[in-house]
Structure 1
């Protein structure tokens, strides 16, 4: 299985997370400069097009990018505290992407003071078809940074569902 992991703003894929992800497949974790890249969406889609990405996982700004890139690839998606309400972070997101058909799991820290969980819930309600079923996991004592134990638990949950599809 090929996994595309997209880190958050000014972040990177930590070795801890890479190790956790590697249990499920081959991990592609590009270093992304969200601040100065003009067309992140198209460049990421093109960069990994030949890799046959099976799932997209992202955190914060990477969750925002992953949400849309998973539509382009028509793959399941796991996003942690995504910056969905702040889509201006990523310029040139195509408007003609297909509807979401594959599994979506959204993990939100209720103590996140960077991206409010409720703002993401409002975004999802407005932007997903009413009949599309997705999973939202609200973590009571988690802020914007996802502890590795929670990351591993959410990965297991996600890949359990994806493995049944």
Structure 2
């Protein structure tokens, strides 16, 4: 299995989380400069379209990119606090299919002060007519950063399906 992991703004994939993902397959975790590349989604798609991506996992800005890339690659996605409604850096959104013909799972932190979970829920609500199956898990005490235990639990449930 090829797992495309997309980090958030100024982030990277931490070793403990990489180890969790590597138990399920090959991890592709590019370094993404969202601030200086407003075409990150098209760059990622062009870079990995021939890599047989099986799933996309992303966090924050990586969750935003992962939302659109899962539709382009037609693969399931697991997204943590995705920056769907608002972003602090501009990104060009390329035309994507209305759905990925599979599911998108979203993990939201109710206490997130970086990506407002209400804005994310409103964004999803505004796009429900696209036919995209979306499962949402809201953690009442989760903030923006995803603890290893929460990451591991979500990945386990997502990849065991």
Q: Same fold (TM over 0.5)?
A: yes
Q: Tell me which residue corresponds to 1:140.
A: 140
Q: Whose helix proportion is higher, 1 or 2?
A: 1
Q: Tell me which residue corresponds to 1:129.
A: 129
Q: Tell me which residue corresponds to 1:69.
A: 69
**Structure 2 residue matching 1:84: 3-state secondary structure:** coil
**Structure 2 residue matching 1:17: 3-state secondary structure:** helix
Could you list the runs of 4 or more consecutive aligned residues of structure 1 that deviate by over 6 angstroms after TM superposition? none
> RMSD of the alignment, in Å?
1.5
In structure 1, the gaps of 5 or more residues are none
The question of whether the paired residues in 1 share the 8 Å contact of 2:58 and 2:65 is answered with yes
The question of whether the paired residues in 1 share the 8 Å contact of 2:98 and 2:130 is answered with no
**After superposition, where does 1:1-165 map in structure 2 within 5 Å?**
1-86=1-86, 89-95=89-95, 97-100=96-99, 101-129=101-129, 132-161=132-161
| CA shift digits 1:70-100 (9 cap, x unpaired) | 11101100000000011574522113x1121
TM-score normalised by L of structure 2? 0.94
**Structure 2 residue matching 1:56: 3-state secondary structure:** strand
Alpha-carbon deviation of 1:38?
A: 3.1
**Structure 2 residue matching 1:27: 3-state secondary structure:** strand
Distance in 2 (CA, whole Å) between partners of 1:28 and 1:160 is 19
Distance in 2 (CA, whole Å) between partners of 1:131 and 1:77 is 15
The question of whether the paired residues in 2 share the 8 Å contact of 1:40 and 1:90 is answered with no
Per mean C-alpha deviation after superposition, the further-off stretch among 33-42 and 148-157 is: 33-42
